[in-house]
Amino acid sequence: MNDEAVPFDDRGLAYGDGLFETVLVRDGQPLLWDEHMARLEEGCHRLGIAFPGHDRLACLPACSGPGLHVLKLIVTRGSGGRGYLPPTDAEPRLRWRSSPFSPRRAHWTDGVRVRLCELRLGHQPRLAGIKHLNRLENVLARQEWSDPDIAEGLLSDSSGRLIEATCMNLFWQYGPRWETPSLARCGVEGTLRAGLLRQCSLHEVDRGSDVLLEADSLWLGNSIQGIWPITSLVDSSGQLLRAWSTASLDRSLQAEAHALLGYPLPA
């Protein structure tokens, strides 16, 4: 573990000038490690931060003990610079912590209630997709509700396109076709989503919120929790917009996802 404090002049603190990953680790073995490393490397490339190196990172998951853990790692650009201009010799700072973890297993089977968030994600293609440390939009969106029966909030962008949930990606099904929002303008490209795009027939599309009322089923997923079916959708005032039964769900995407994470497929 190296979760020591970061100094006042760290640019991750000063400007959110850095990246993070949260990795599911089972008995010291990371899940979706290639996807996490690819996203981190892409983030470093986009921000102009030196990638800490595969060898240095690859040994971290093994430090988690037996059982399930979440490994959180933060890479900042390091210290210093005159204002926003990074120093040419910036030395990236790596911090990481591993914590025991249990997924919300009941959500796999029973599904979740979600709401529509009022906040609209702004467009910034230069930062879209990567998991940088500028996450105030997510924090503001997550503060919109406190009801523990609402598991997530769905976010649209300033043009009305559906994008993601506050900490999960969104998927839906039209008959045999599976789709997920394009994240070219905003949103985070989750590593579970990346794994599914690699091995399933899953299509990235631009769609407005009308899809929520039309799709056969809606799902939320990330690399820590696995995949949850959405069973009810409420608007930002709590009004029910639609409900789905879990009785005849096509759980094929969930099966693919849970295979990637070593999670069981609900019966």
Interacting residues toward a second copy by CB under 8 A: 3-8, 10-17, 20, 47-48, 74, 76, 83-86, 95, 97, 119, 122-124, 126-127, 132-143, 158, 166-167, 186
The answer to whether 210 and 225 are in contact (CB under 8 A) is no
Toward a second copy, which CB reaches closer, 69 or 132?
132
Q: How far is the CB of 146 from a second copy (least distance, A)?
A: 8
Q: How far is the CB of 47 from a second copy (least distance, A)?
A: 7
Toward a second copy, which CB reaches closer, 50 or 243?
50
Q: How far is the CB of 113 from a second copy (least distance, A)?
A: 16
Alpha-carbon dihedral sign for residues 260, 40, 120, 137: positive
User: Per-residue DSSP letters for 58-116?
Assistant: HTSGGGS-SSEEEEEEEEE--B--BTTBPPTT---EEEEEEEE----HHHHHH-EEEEE
Toward a second copy, which CB reaches closer, 55 or 84?
84
DSSP label at 215? -
Q: Is 164 an active-site residue?
A: yes
Toward a second copy, which CB reaches closer, 59 or 136?
136
Q: Is 22 an active-site residue?
A: yes
Dihedral angle at the C-alpha atoms of 167, 170, 48, 74, nearest 10 degrees? Answer: 30
Q: Which two tokens stand for residue 200?
A: 């399933």
**Catalytic position from the list 21, 137, 152, 164:** 164
Q: How far is the CB of 178 from a second copy (least distance, A)?
A: 26
Q: How far is the CB of 74 from a second copy (least distance, A)?
A: 7
Q: What are the Cα distances from residue 179, in Å, to 33, 92, 229, 250?
A: 24, 37, 14, 14
Closest by Cα among 165, 164, 173, 187 to 254: 173
Q: Which two tokens stand for residue 169?
A: 């990606």
**Catalytic position from the list 21, 35, 76, 131:** 131
Q: Is 166 an active-site residue?
A: no
The answer to whether 233 and 262 are in contact (CB under 8 A) is no
Toward a second copy, which CB reaches closer, 17 or 35?
17
Alpha-carbon dihedral sign for residues 36, 37, 39, 43: positive
**Residues with catalytic function:** 22, 131, 164
